Amino acid sequence: MNDSYAPPTDPKTVLAILPVEFVGSFPDPNHVLEPALPEVMFLGRSNVGKSSLINAVVGRKIAKTSGTPGKTQLLVAFRFPGFYLLDLPGYGYAKLNQSERRRLRDLVDGAIRTRPRVRTVVWLLDIRHEPSKDDLMMRDLLADAGREAIVVLTKADKLTQSERIQAVRDRARALDVDPDDLVMTSSAKGTSIPELAELIQDAASET
Ligand SMILES: Nc1nc2c(ncn2[C@@H]2O[C@H](COP(=O)(O)OP(=O)(O)OP(=O)(O)O)[C@@H](O)[C@H]2O)c(=O)[nH]1
Ligand SMILES: [Mg+2]
């Protein structure tokens, strides 16, 4: 992938021009949102950059972010005209006690397995790291649940250009996907943010 045409900062996206409303935060993975609309869900390890990427694609700071893993603890819903964006807690955060970890895992697994209106899952992986055991379990869960996914690499700004090229190849091989199907992003620099916003809008509006 080549990001040399990526705008440097703060690109306007197709989602940035839409009104958005915070709906609420819910502990139940099956919480029913009214009115019923298509849903796009953000998934990834704790601290991978889900909430930051949501803020980047919608061009506003709507999701809470933090340098400390485990920031998002509930299913968080934002409503756009015609669809919902859902922010999920991260998986694989080791420093929680067993019951909290269990609760978060049940929330994430339940949302992936059973929410009937999810059109696509935006699945995030840190570009710097090989997929973890949890990532690979999540891949199996997505496949098992028959979920379509947009696979995103995050924090591309943390690598040099040559490291990025190598990393995209390595991640594609580890995930057994085509490198061209990986969306390499940086929320910090705006890399591929307009493109990702369009993929999300397209998925949400497919009939
Ligand atoms: N350099 C860089 N840092 C990033 C980027 N995206 C996110 N971060 C940082 O990564 C940390 C975690 O970001 P969040 O967006 O809160 O991550 P999250 O996946 O929502 O985390 P949880 O809610 O805890 O699962 C924060 O310190 C962000 O500033 C990026 O593109 N580049
Ligand atoms: Mg978060």
The 10s digit of each residue's pLDDT in 9-49 is 455 899 999 999 999 999 999 999 999 999 999 999 999 99
- Residue having the nearest C-alpha atom to atom 7 of ligand 1: 49
115 lines ligand 1 (CB under 6 A): no
**Which tens digits make up the pLDDT trace of 190-203?**
999 999 999 999 99
Note the pLDDT of residue 66. Answer: 86
**How many other β-carbons are positioned within 10 Å of the β-carbon of residue 99?**
8
Per-residue pLDDT for 60 more than 70? yes
Q: Which residue, by CA, sits nearest to atom 28 of ligand 1?
A: 67
Residue at token pair 């809470």: 64
Rounded alpha-carbon distances, angstroms, from residue 102 to 39, 74, 94, 126, 136 = 24, 13, 11, 23, 18
Is any ligand 1 atom within 6 A of the Cβ of residue 192? no
Structure-token match 């705008």, residue found: 7
* Nearest residue to 186 (alpha-carbon basis) of 150, 206, 158: 158
Q: How far is residue 116's CA from residue 3's CA, in Å, rounded to a whole number?
A: 35
Residues ≥6 apart with Cβ < 8 Å to 35: none
Please indicate whether residue 50, judged by its CB atom, sits closer than 6 Å to ligand 1: yes
In short, whether 157's Cβ falls inside 6 Å of ligand 1 is yes
Beta strand pairing call for 75-80 and 182-184: unpaired
Strands (E), 45-160: 75-80, 83-87, 118-126, 149-154
Query: 21-205 maps to which CATH number?
Result: 3.40.50.300
Distance 121 CA to ligand 1 centre (A): 18
**Is a pLDDT exceeding 50 seen at residue 117?**
yes
Atom of ligand 1 nearest to the CA of 55: 15
Confidence of residue 153 (pLDDT cuts 50, 70, 90): very high
From 9-23, 45-59, 79-93, the region with the lowest mean pLDDT = 9-23
